[in-house]
């Protein structure tokens, strides 16, 4: 079984308004609600690709109930820890007249020590774990060491961990040597503490992490594709040029594509092409929608891995 862990999920509420007038009453033309969060995105894509998985994380309050309801309606299995605080709601305002998008990201609830131990307990007792994907930022009041703890437990249970996060959480997580990491180039640059201005610099930084004991280092570079460093060598897969409709969730889709490839028994290089195809397929979708299976399959056929 595949599990995704999203400790800081959000309800994303998008409202569309034609030409916002400040200090006036504005009519909302359309309103949409999404269950957001990086691990949740991974679960959504895996589910689309027919890979059985379960989303774990914290939810609280009515927003938490709504988030879970949205996931159930999309056919996504979840097993959340209920918290005393309220799941955050992010507001996205689309001005369809001015063609602008303004994001208001909420901080989210604080997690108590007791709630933290509840998720640890859940992770210690996962049924038949194969891959556990840990994605995204940490909620208020949670020390980045939590990711170390989760990685230690999952590896101790014989499953593989994929970590996709940033900043201190990534720094703490890599100390515990997750099996796979997927920073984007900016996250890797912050982790390495230096600018990465060419492929050679990316490879060198990723190689350093691989040599420390991280089996597979995937570095996503937006339209330039993904570099993979593993025991089977160094590869780059570049996507074709496409019309960018939306970038939200491209990295999460790439993680899901890679896991899909592994679960389908493909080798690492083919799994890498699945990662790039899934990321780019999401770019083709407008709004916050994630990739569809048809685009994913079409793109896969267009990709040629390059050995570096």
Ligand X SMILES: Nc1ncnc2c1ncn2[C@@H]1O[C@H](COP(=O)(O)OP(=O)(O)OP(=O)(O)O)[C@@H](O)[C@H]1O
Q: One of 12, 164, 252, 295 is an active-site residue; which one?
A: 252
> Binders of ligand X among 275-294, rule CB under 6 A?
276, 279-280, 283
Out of 14, 184, 230, 285, the only residue in the binding site for ligand X (CB under 6 A) is 184
Q: Are strands 88-95 and 180-181 parallel, antiparallel or unpaired?
A: unpaired
Reference 217, options 121, 225, 70, 208; nearest CA is 208
Contacts of 288 (CB under 8 A, 6+ apart): 12, 14, 34, 36, 246, 248, 249
In DSSP terms, which residues pair with 100 in a beta bridge? Answer: 95
Structure tokens at 107: 């901080």
Binding site for Mg ion (CB under 5 A): 251
**Which is closer to ligand X, CB of 144 or CB of 222?**
222
221 belongs to the binding site for ligand X (CB under 6 A): yes
CB of 104 to ligand X, least distance (A): 18
Sheet containing strand 100-104, edge to edge, reads 28-36, 10-17, 88-95, 100-104
226 belongs to the binding site for ligand X (CB under 6 A): yes
222 belongs to the binding site for ligand X (CB under 6 A): yes
- Evaluate whether 91 touches 13 at the Cβ level (below 8 Å): yes
**Which is closer to Mg ion, CB of 64 or CB of 251?**
251
68 belongs to the binding site for ligand X (CB under 6 A): no
136 belongs to the binding site for ligand X (CB under 6 A): no
Q: Which residue's Cβ lies closest to Mg ion? A: 251
Cα dihedral sign, 250-260-226-169? positive
267 among known catalytic residues: no
Out of 92, 250, 263, 290, the only residue in the binding site for ligand X (CB under 6 A) is 250
CB of 34 to Mg ion, least distance (A): 17
User: Using CA atoms in the order 218, 48, 109, 59, what is the torsion angle rounded to 10 degrees?
Assistant: -130
144 belongs to the binding site for ligand X (CB under 6 A): no
- Evaluate whether 9 touches 36 at the Cβ level (below 8 Å): yes
**Which is closer to ligand X, CB of 54 or CB of 224?**
224
Catalytic residues: 252
Q: Which residues of the chain form contacts with ligand X (CB under 6 A)? A: 184, 220-223, 225-226, 239, 242, 244, 247, 249-252, 254, 276, 279-280, 283
């Amino acid at each position: 079984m595949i599990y995704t862990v999203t400790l800081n999920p959000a309800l994303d509420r998008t409202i569309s308004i034609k030409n916002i007038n400040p200090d006036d009453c504005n009519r909302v033309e359309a309103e949409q609600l999404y269950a957001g969060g990086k691990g949740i995105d991974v679960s959504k894509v895996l589910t689309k690709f027919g890979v059985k998985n379960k989303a774990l994380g914290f939810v609280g309050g009515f927003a938490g109930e709504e988030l879970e309801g949205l996931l159930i309606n999309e056919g996504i299995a979840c097993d959340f820890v209920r918290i005393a605080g309220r799941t955050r709601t992010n507001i996205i305002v689309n001005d369809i007249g001015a063609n602008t998008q303004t994001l208001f990201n909420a901080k989210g609830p604080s997690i108590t020590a007791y709630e933290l131990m509840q998720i640890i307990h859940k992770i210690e007792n996962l049924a038949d774990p194969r891959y556990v994907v840990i994605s995204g930022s940490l909620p208020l009041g949670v020390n980045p060491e939590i990711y170390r703890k989760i990685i230690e437990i999952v590896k101790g249970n014989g499953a593989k961990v994929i970590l996709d996060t940033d900043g201190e959480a990534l720094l703490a997580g890599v100390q515990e040597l997750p099996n796979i990491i997927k920073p984007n180039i900016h996250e890797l640059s912050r982790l390495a503490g230096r600018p990465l201005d060419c492929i050679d610099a990316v490879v060198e930084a990723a190689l350093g992490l691989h040599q420390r004991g991280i089996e597979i280092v995937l570095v996503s570079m937006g339209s330039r594709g993904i570099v993979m460093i593993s025991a089977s060598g160094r590869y780059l897969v570049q996507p074709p040029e496409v019309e960018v409709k939306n970038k939200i969730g491209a990295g999460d889709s790439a993680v899901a594509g890679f896991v899909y490839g592994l679960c389908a028994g493909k080798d690492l290089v083919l799994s890498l092409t699945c990662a790039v195809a899934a990321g780019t397929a999401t770019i083709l979708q407008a709004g916050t929608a994630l990739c569809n299976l048809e685009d994913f399959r079409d793109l896969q056929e267009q990709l040629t891995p390059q050995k570096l």
